[in-house]
Amino acid sequence: MSKTEVEIAGDNKEVKQDMSTYTATEKPESHIVATDYDFWLFDFDGTIVDVEWEYTRSVFDRVGNQLGVSFSDTDAAQLWHGLGDPRNAQIQALGIDPDTFWPALHEVEDPIARAEATYLHEDAAVLLNELHAANVPVGVVTHCQSFLAQPVVDYLDIEDWFDSFVTCTSELGWKPDPGPVYHAIESLGQDPSTPTTGVLAGDAPSDVGAAWNAGLAGLHVERHSPEQRGRCVLGDYRVDSLDII
């Protein structure tokens, strides 16, 4: 999760760009061939890795103690995974100022404990190994801040899986803004002005939005059902698992 949250305008932008998308009731198997693209970009949290529930629950318990509020399991899961309405709107609906919530969250997070509670999605590992074997450049564009992301990369020993690892900031921008995506493309030695041969894969609407805004194909991996999310995420490709690509 990030301190800066993409508001509903980002979702609207994505929903309007509905060319080559599938609805929730028309989702076929993926027709994408991994090596058809010159490079791949990925989101990180929720796409390549995830965190055990016990860690998430403990974080929200500590934040709640600091702020004098209580988070239900549903509140914690939705805010952690970005399900339902935009996070800041959900935080405000709980009677909490987002400008108070985010610093409290980052203060209670333990980078080492989080890394030790993080696991790889096996399907993502399969695809990443396939891309590595085919010498396809791979990058990451994540909202996860570097003080949290780097210990995870070190703990899982996956740094050599990526040719570029971009952490979004206020200066670079936040997905669906294309700024951090352009930065990742340049870091791969590619030209962001002609990025038609790249794809960005992620588990959130902002990932597909960032892909489209940067001129890439957008792939949505369905880690949470439309019923859990409260909406259907559109994309050029929609898959339940990355290892079927």
Band of pLDDT at residue 196, cut at 50, 70 and 90: low
Band of the pLDDT at 43, cuts 50, 70, 90? very high
Percent of all residues in the chain with a pLDDT value above 70, rounded to a whole number: 87
**Gap between the Cα atoms of 204 and 180, Å rounded:** 16
Of 233, 180, 237, nearest to 13 by C-alpha is 233
pLDDT at 3: 38
Q: Can you give the pLDDT at residue 5?
A: 37
Q: Could you tell me the two tokens for 181? A: 């995506």
**Largest alpha-carbon pair distance within the chain?**
52
Q: Which residues share a beta bridge with 202?
A: 220
**pLDDT attached to residue 56:** 97
194 pLDDT tier (thresholds 50, 70, 90): confident
Q: What is the pLDDT at residue 98?
A: 96
- pLDDT at residue 11, rounded to an integer: 34
Is residue 39 a contact partner of residue 185, using CB atoms and an 8 Å limit?
Answer: yes
Cα–Cα distances (Å) from 40 to 3, 72, 88, 127, 135, in that order, read 26, 37, 30, 10, 11
In the β-sheet with 164-167, what is the strand arrangement from edge to edge?
A: 164-167, 138-142, 39-42, 198-202, 217-221, 237-239
Q: Which pLDDT score, from 0 to 100, does residue 225 have? A: 73
**Pairwise pLDDT comparison (139 vs 224), residue with the higher score:** 139
Q: 118-148, pLDDT tens digit by residue?
A: 999 999 999 999 999 999 999 999 999 999 9
pLDDT class of 8 with cuts at 50, 70, 90: very low
Residue-level pLDDT at 15: 32
Q: Do the beta carbons of residue 209 and residue 202 sit within 8 Å? A: no
d(CA 144, CA 153): 12
Give the model's confidence band at 19: pLDDT under 50 very low, under 70 low, under 90 confident, else very high: very low
Mean pLDDT of 216-226: 89
Q: Assess contact for 83 and 201: CB atoms under 8 A.
A: no
Name the CATH superfamily for 8-50+118-244. Answer: HAD superfamily/HAD-like (3.40.50.1000)
Average pLDDT over residues 49-61: 98
Query: For residues 81 and 2, what is the distance between their CA atoms, to the nearest angstrom?
Result: 11
Instruction: Please determine, for residue 151, whether its predicted confidence score (pLDDT) is greater than 60.
Output: yes
Site of tokens 């965190």:
51
Determine the pLDDT at residue 211. Answer: 96
pLDDT of 16 reads: 33
The per-residue pLDDT for range 76-112, each reduced to its tens digit, is 999 999 888 889 999 999 999 999 999 999 999 999 9
Which residues make Cβ contacts (< 8 Å) with residue 130, sequence separation at least 6?
34
Report the percentage of the chain scoring pLDDT > 90.
74
Tell me whether residue 142 is exposed, middle or buried, using C-beta atoms within 10 angstroms of its C-beta: 0 to 12, 13 to 18, 19 or more: buried
Contact between 211 and 205 under an 8 Å Cβ cutoff? The reply is no
Separation CA 208–CA 233 (nearest Å)? 8
Average pLDDT, the chain: 87
